[in-house]
Structure 1
Amino acid sequence: MGNRILVAGTWDTKTDELGYIRDVIRAQGGEVLAMDVSVLGDPGQPVDIDKHAVAAAAGSSIAAAIAAQDENTAMQIMALGAARLAAGLHAEGRIDGLIVLGGTMGTDLALDLCAALPLGVPKYVVSTVSFSPMLPPERLPADIQMILWAGGLYGLNSICKAALSQAAGAVLGAARAAEPPRRDRPLIGMTSFGKTVLRYMVPLKPALEARGFEVAVFHATGMGGRAFEALAAEGAFAAVMDFAPQEVGNHLFGSAISAGPDRLTAAGRRGIPQIVSIGCHDLVDLVGWHPRPARFADSTFHAHNRILSSVVLRPDERRAVARSLAERLAQARGPVTLLLPQQGAHEWDRPGGPLRDPAALAEFLAELRQACPPQVVLRDLDCHINDPGFADAALAVVDGWITDGTLPRP
């Protein structure tokens, strides 16, 4: 049972608050490993990992951090050291979860510290800037948990204790209940949207599981794509079915719903076999409550709900997406098969659908065929992406890869 929690923060200025977290965890039967990431002061209570050990893990020293005479430089030294130590502690089986406390400085460090631990390790941040737009999505690990440190900037009170005690109980409970990802079956990563838009995962998941694979489907709405790319970069996938690369277009046209500039590249860099398609290539998702960008003022608009809306790209914009997809696939070091459903790429563009535009789809497909590098295998499919024929074609690629040894037989 996971009981040992790493409690990290500046124990010189946050002794009372961090000590309170430690006491709550211990009162619930947990163990604590205390890490001090202070620079100038000394902790008011004994710690297990002192600031000198943290700085040394970064290949530096507290003296060097102070000599920099810059708090940002000093905190980055401590962030690097803390992240390296946390990764080592987890690899050695010495910690089962993490909680970090801080304001903006502590939160900056906390994001690096959390990112050093793999998916499935509970990681909690108690911060005065939780959920703030100051926190860039690309620095948020897929399973990070945050709680606002309300009323707790200086000293303990009943308001901040409510948050601190919740976080302490949550990380201990999560550590006890956590089921880390298994590695007993080869994993296929798939991108998609909800079943009202894309449906191929419904037949594909059981069919792939019957072949001995595990299947993880990622919601390609920015953070989902980031998690997908991060796992691909780690080599977690035996193969990917990246059928909803719409985040490439989102990033290309400046949407806040972005998986970053490296979307559709991590699997290729690792040489992971890829089956790719064009789900929702003609749409750019926008934050529903943000003003619509001026460049899309005259575009066809679709409100999915109050937090997510989409604009339909014009033919020239779709061609730009096609070129961007091809550029990314050209970087792949492993096999790539590109499935091109000629009857549409989401439920709204079926024949008779509200966003149907066969001429624009044909232009997009022509641009993609022309731009694709020769090592990409192109397969035109006379069906819609949500038709059974699309799933059958994807399974045929998988079966071929198993037969020729590209994929290990599960």
Structure 2
Amino acid sequence: MATIAVLGTLDSKGTEHGFVADLIRQRGHAPLLIDVGTLGPTQIPADISRDEVATAGGIDLPPTLSRQDRGECVAAMADAAAALLLKLSDQGRIQGVISLGGSGGTAIGTATMRALPIGFPKVMVSTMASGNIAHYVGTKDIVMIPSVVDVSGLNRVSRIIFSRAVGAICGMVETEIASSSADRPLIVASMFGNTTDCINAAIPVLEEAGYEVLVFHATGAGGKAMEALIESGMVAGVLDITTTEWADELVGGVLSAGPQRLEAAGKAGVPAIVVPGCLDMVNFGGPETIPDKFAQRNFYIHNPQVTLMRTSPQECRELGRLLAGKINQYSAPVSVLIPQKAISVISAAGGPFHDAEADEALFSTLADSLRDGIEVRWEDREINDPSFAKLCARTLMENIRVDADSK
């Protein structure tokens, strides 16, 4: 028997969550009703009250309510519920979570689910699930089920949707994930079209050494997903060849992974290698999407939907400082490898993005801004040179070995 958290605003949608709880009991599992409402008294009894949720999150609920700012209340309860459910999960007291909601309930429910580890069963039935749900799901494996009708009472449609959702969450908690002694330690790698050859040459070296390599496309969402997996504790090493998302974050391109990119390895204490791969480019859509202020810059049309802009020497200096600031926080062994001849396919000599001044600004600022104790390897090679790729793989494995020996 599993315990499934049934999280919701039990003041406005208590009847619906009670229906879900009853179905979970019928399946032989134990529902744990958690109230995150802030408007009025609950329609059904809660196993964990809103005051207990608030206490777990360190917020003072009555003053929050007295401000009568619904958005503020939703944000406060989302943070508090996330803290509570993460604690319950870590303690093994819950094995899954399900929630039903409109816009406010979805904000609370999915914020809570995003705090839980990848692989933890999560189901959200929502009125918002038929549109763009990227900001609700983030980088986590949340199952979003459109409610079709509003989550407002029980009717012939909502009973069907809620029942199927219960079947989904119960099926998830009932499914055993086979663990095998053959499972190999994980290495995550960042890749772009302009660094594909590098990653493809590095992977066999790592696989032959007994690692499994997961590759993430550095398109913003890919970088966020990689960072989330690193933070989950599942990763043994980070092959961060393609740090291009920072160029988009700094300059205003469309493939930013946010200001937290490159932080996870430091927080999780995971050995890494970092390469300034594809920091020569900022990504935009078609040419018509490029802001007017960049009209005089150097562009390369990658395809009809993607236009690349060459980073300037000034931007490259700032990128060097930004990367060093992140890398300086790493506690596990980390090495920075600099391919001096090219950081992408198109930045090599004779290529459309070849700019020796910009490269030098990036490389020298990055190296000079790193703290003592971080290895910097200057390599007179292009990033996609197979020998450089193999060096990256071997350096990462050495960092993993050194980290293991120190523990």
Q: Specify if TM > 0.5.
A: yes
Q: What is the letter of the counterpart of residue 116 of structure 2?
A: L
CA shift for structure 1 position 222:
1.6
2:53 aligned counterpart, secondary structure: helix
Where does 1:312-351 land on structure 2 (aligned, <5 Å)?
Answer: 312-349=310-347
Q: What is the letter of the counterpart of residue 33 of structure 2?
A: A
Residue 391 of structure 2: aligned partner: 393
CA shift for structure 1 position 381:
2.4
CA shift for structure 1 position 118:
1.3
Residue 92 of structure 1: aligned partner: 91
Residue 311 of structure 1: aligned partner: 309
Residue 378 of structure 1: aligned partner: 376
Distance 1:304 1:149 in 2: 38
Structure 1 vs Structure 2 CA RMSD: 3.8
Where does 1:252-331 land on structure 2 (aligned, <5 Å)?
Answer: 252-269=250-267, 271-286=269-284, 291-299=289-297, 300-304=299-303, 306=305, 309-331=307-329
Q: CA contact under 8 A between 1:114 and 1:141: conserved in structure 2?
A: no
Note the alpha carbon deviations across 1:15-56, whole angstroms, 9 max, x for none.
Answer: 343344445556666553322222343443444333343334
Q: CA contact under 8 A between 1:192 and 1:220: conserved in structure 2?
A: yes
- In structure 2, the CA distance between the partners of 1:265 and 1:52, relative to structure 1 (3 Å rule), is closer
Where does 1:1-400 land on structure 2 (aligned, <5 Å)?
Answer: 4-22=3-21, 25=24, 31-59=30-58, 63=62, 65-130=64-129, 136=135, 140-157=138-155, 163-177=161-175, 179=177, 186-193=185-192, 197-233=195-231, 236-269=234-267, 271-286=269-284, 291-299=289-297, 300-304=299-303, 306=305, 309-349=307-347, 355-357=352-354, 359=356, 362-364=359-361, 366-368=363-365, 371-373=368-370, 375=372, 376-400=374-398
- In structure 2, the CA distance between the partners of 1:262 and 1:212, relative to structure 1 (3 Å rule), is same
CA shift for structure 1 position 280:
1.4
Q: CA contact under 8 A between 1:120 and 1:180: conserved in structure 2?
A: no
CA shift for structure 1 position 240:
1.8
- In structure 2, the CA distance between the partners of 1:125 and 1:290, relative to structure 1 (3 Å rule), is farther
- In structure 2, the CA distance between the partners of 1:232 and 1:50, relative to structure 1 (3 Å rule), is same
- In structure 2, the CA distance between the partners of 1:399 and 1:188, relative to structure 1 (3 Å rule), is closer
Q: CA contact under 8 A between 1:121 and 1:178: conserved in structure 2?
A: no
Distance 2:56 2:197 in 1: 48
Q: CA contact under 8 A between 2:319 and 2:362: conserved in structure 1?
A: no
Distance 1:176 1:193 in 2: 38
Distance 1:165 1:296 in 2: 53
- In structure 2, the CA distance between the partners of 1:76 and 1:205, relative to structure 1 (3 Å rule), is same
Q: What is the letter of the counterpart of residue 359 of structure 1?
A: A
Residue 406 of structure 1: aligned partner: 403
Distance 1:319 1:160 in 2: 56
Distance 1:30 1:409 in 2: 44
Q: What is the letter of the counterpart of residue 343 of structure 1?
A: K
CA shift for structure 1 position 277:
0.7
Distance 2:61 2:331 in 1: 43
Q: What is the letter of the counterpart of residue 370 of structure 2?
A: P
Note the alpha carbon deviations across 1:306-354, whole angstroms, 9 max, x for none.
Answer: 5x5533334443343333323333444444322122332334445666x
CA shift for structure 1 position 59:
4.8
CA shift for structure 1 position 388:
1.4
1:199 aligned counterpart, secondary structure: helix
- In structure 2, the CA distance between the partners of 1:62 and 1:271, relative to structure 1 (3 Å rule), is closer
Query: Mean alpha-carbon deviation: is it higher for 92-101 or for 238-247?
Result: 92-101
Please, which runs of 5 or more residues in structure 2 have no aligned partner? none
CA shift for structure 1 position 394:
1.4
Q: CA contact under 8 A between 2:332 and 2:403: conserved in structure 1?
A: no
Query: Mean alpha-carbon deviation: is it higher for 28-37 or for 91-100?
Result: 28-37
Q: What is the letter of the counterpart of residue 44 of structure 1?
A: Q
Please, which runs of 5 or more residues in structure 1 have no aligned partner? none
Q: What is the letter of the counterpart of residue 215 of structure 2?
A: V
Query: Mean alpha-carbon deviation: is it higher for 264-273 or for 377-386?
Result: 264-273
Q: CA contact under 8 A between 2:247 and 2:311: conserved in structure 1?
A: no
- In structure 2, the CA distance between the partners of 1:160 and 1:279, relative to structure 1 (3 Å rule), is farther
Distance 1:345 1:180 in 2: 41
Number of aligned residue pairs: 404
2:289 aligned counterpart, secondary structure: coil
CA shift for structure 1 position 160:
5.1
Scaled by the length of structure 1, what TM-score is found?
0.80
- In structure 2, the CA distance between the partners of 1:374 and 1:113, relative to structure 1 (3 Å rule), is closer
2:377 aligned counterpart, secondary structure: strand
Distance 1:105 1:165 in 2: 22
- In structure 2, the CA distance between the partners of 1:270 and 1:91, relative to structure 1 (3 Å rule), is closer
Distance 2:406 2:371 in 1: 27
Distance 1:149 1:290 in 2: 38
CA shift for structure 1 position 243:
0.9
- In structure 2, the CA distance between the partners of 1:280 and 1:189, relative to structure 1 (3 Å rule), is same
Note the alpha carbon deviations across 1:227-271, whole angstroms, 9 max, x for none.
Answer: 333444455544322111111111101234322212223323555
Q: CA contact under 8 A between 2:8 and 2:36: conserved in structure 1?
A: yes
Q: CA contact under 8 A between 1:120 and 1:178: conserved in structure 2?
A: no
- In structure 2, the CA distance between the partners of 1:56 and 1:316, relative to structure 1 (3 Å rule), is closer
- In structure 2, the CA distance between the partners of 1:350 and 1:256, relative to structure 1 (3 Å rule), is closer
- In structure 2, the CA distance between the partners of 1:219 and 1:170, relative to structure 1 (3 Å rule), is farther
Q: What is the letter of the counterpart of residue 78 of structure 2?
A: A
Identity of aligned residues (%): 35
2:124 aligned counterpart, secondary structure: strand
Note the alpha carbon deviations across 1:182-217, whole angstroms, 9 max, x for none.
Answer: 9975443322235x7523333433432433444333
